[in-house]
Amino acid sequence: MGSVHWEDSQQPDPAHEDPVPPDMSSPIQEDIEVSDQTEGPANQKVESPAFRQALKAFQGTTGLAVTGIFDPATREAMNSPRCGVPDQGWHPGVLSPQATMEDKGKRAALDQGLVRTKRFSHHLLLHRLKARGRRREVADGNVSGLVFRKRSLKWRLLREGYSSQLTVLEQRAAIHLAFRLWSEVTPIDFEEDLSSPVSLLDITLAFGTGRHLGCSQAFDGGGQEVAHSWQNRAVHFDDDEHFTAANSNQGISLLRVAVHEVGHVLGLPHMYGKGSMMQPNYSTEGRDTELAWSDRKAIQQLYGVCEGPFDTVFDWVRRERGEDGRLVLGFNTYFFRGTWYWMYENRNNRTRYGDPLPIYSGWHGIPTARIDAFVHVCTWSKDAAYFFKGTRYWRYDNFNDRAYTEDSQGVRYPKLISSGFPGISGPINAAFFDRRDQCIYFFKQHQVTAFNVNTNMRVPGYPRRITDVFPALFPGDHPVSNLDAVYYSDTHRATFLFKGLYFWRVVNRHDRLSNPHLPYNGLQAKRKVSEQWLDICNVHPSAMA
C-alpha cells in the first residue's frame, strides 16, 4: 500500500544513552507529573530556556495563551485525540520500506510497554514541541505535495471495513459530506463508486482496530490516534474510538475526522491556522464543520480554483419590514448553471455553505435547467420577477416562493415572450433591468434591444449592436455577442457582462464623475470571474445522497 513519506527534516537530536521517542504523547503527562515532584537537575531541565521557547511555539500554533508554562490547557491540547499523520517536516512521496520497518519497530516498542525515566521527560516534551513547531513552516509557507492528475475521483467505504458503532447509512452520510465540503471549493468531482473493482478506485476508506486491513501502521486503541491516511490512496479510522454521527453532540465527530483525512489524501499537510480543519488535534468543542479560509486557499494551491460559464446571474431583491416597521429592500445574489444554483454571500465573498443545490429544490415551478435570463422589474409602481427560457417566460411569486400559474390580474403563465413583451422574440441570451431608464435590455446574439416597462413598448432605434450600446474602453476587449449573463450588482453598484470565464464591468455614475471622458455604458477591461466571485464549484450528483 502506498503512503506518505513523512520525513523528519530537523537536525538530529544529540546522541543519548536513552533516545528521545518519536512524536509520542502518551507518556508525557505521567513523566511530567513525576518530574514536577522531583527536586534537582531533572526539574531544572523543565525550566530551561529551550524548553520554554519550544513550549511557547506550541502554544502559539495551537491558539493557547503563550506563557511558556506547561499548564493544564497545554497538557490537554497535547493529549487530545489527534490524526495519526506525524507532525514532522512534510515531504510528498511514498513511504519507503525502511520507513515502514521503522514504524513497525516503534509500534512494537509501544506494545512492550515503553518506560522512560523522569530525567528524559524534558527531552520527550521538547522533541514533540520542536516537531510541531516545524509544521508552521508548512502552514505559513507554500503548500506542495502529490496531487491527483485527474479531476474526477472515485471513492468507496469498503464493506470489510464498516464501523461497529454507527449504521452504514450514518457512516456513508458523514463521508459523503466530507467529500462534498472539499468539492465545494475545488474543481474536483468526488463520485461514490459501489461496483467497480477496488483496484480501479482512487480513494478507499475503512474502519479497523489494532493491526488492521494489512496496514503497516497499527492503531493504539481509544484515546490518542483516531485515524490515519495515505496520500492519493486510503483513509483508515480507529474503530476503538467513540465516533458519532454528524448530528450528535457526543464523542468524536466522524465528519470532522473524515474531512481532515480526506485533506491529507488530497495532498494537504497539517496546518495551524485558526479554525483550520487540518489541525492535527481534533477538537470536541463545537459541532460546526466548515472549511476555514486557510483550508480553501491551501487546497486551491494544489488543484486550482473553480471556473466555468453561467446561465444567469442576478440579485434577488425583496421588500421587507424592518424592526421599526419601515419598508426596506433586501437582496441575495444567485448564480445558475445547468441544473444547479448557488447563493453568493457577498459580505463573506464566498458561496453559502452547502451549495450548490438543484434548481427544483429552491425555485418552484420554473424550468429545472438551463435558464436563459432573470429580470426583476422594480419601480415605485411595479414589482415583478421573471425567468426566461426558450420562447417563454415565467413570473415568480416572491411571497409564496413559486412561479405563478395565474397572477392577481388573471394573467396565466408561462407566456410567450413575444406576447408579454411586444417586439421581443425568444430565445434570448441574457437580460437585465436598468433602473436608470426603467428599461429591460434583452441581449440576443450580437444585438441588444431596450424595452420600456412603463409604455410596454420597444424603445425606438432598437435593436442595436451590443458594441455600440456598450462600447469597449480598450480596443478589441469586448464580448461582442452571445453573452451568458448580464447582471446589476447591488453590492458593487455596477452592471457586469458575463461570457465564458470572463466578465466586463460597465462604467457607472461614480466612474464618470471621476473621469467625465469615459463613455456612457463603456466596458472596463475583462477579468476572470473566479477573481471576483470565489469558490463557485460544481459537485458530483452522488454528493447529494
Binding residues: 202, 212, 220-221, 228, 236, 238-239, 241, 260, 264, 270, 278, 324, 372, 431, 484, 486
- Distance of alpha carbon 298 from alpha carbon 90, whole angstroms: 14
CA atoms within 13 A of residue 53's CA, in its CB half-sphere:
4
Phi, psi of 79 (to 5 degrees): -110, 10
State the distance between the two ends of the chain, measured CA to CA, in whole angstroms: 29
Closest CA relative to residue 36, chosen from 115, 128, 118, 125: 118
Return binding residues for Ca(2+).
202, 220-221, 238-239, 241, 324, 372, 431, 484, 486
Provide the 10 A C-beta neighbour count for residue 105: 10
C-alpha cell at 265: 489524501
User: Which entry of 170, 184, 225, 261 is annotated as an active-site residue?
Assistant: 261
Would you say 33 and 75 are in contact if contact means Cβ atoms under 8 Å apart?
Answer: no
What distance in Å separates the CA atoms of residue 404 and residue 188, rounded to the nearest whole number?
37
DSSP assigned state of 88: S
Strand partners, 82: 225, 281
> In the chain, how many H helices and how many E strands?
14, 27
Query: Under a CB-based contact definition with an 8 Å cutoff, are residues 528 and 501 in contact?
Result: yes
Long-range pairs of 221-224 with CB within 8 A, sequence gap ≥ 24: 223/26, 223/81, 224/25, 224/26, 224/79, 224/81, 224/82
In order, the DSSP letters of 106-173 are HHHHHHT-----GGGHHHHHHHHHHHHHHHHHHHHS-------SSSEEEEEE-GGG--SSS-HHHHHH
CA-nearest of 257, 270, 332, 242 to 139 is: 270
**160 is a catalytic site residue:** no
By annotation, the residues acting in catalysis are 261
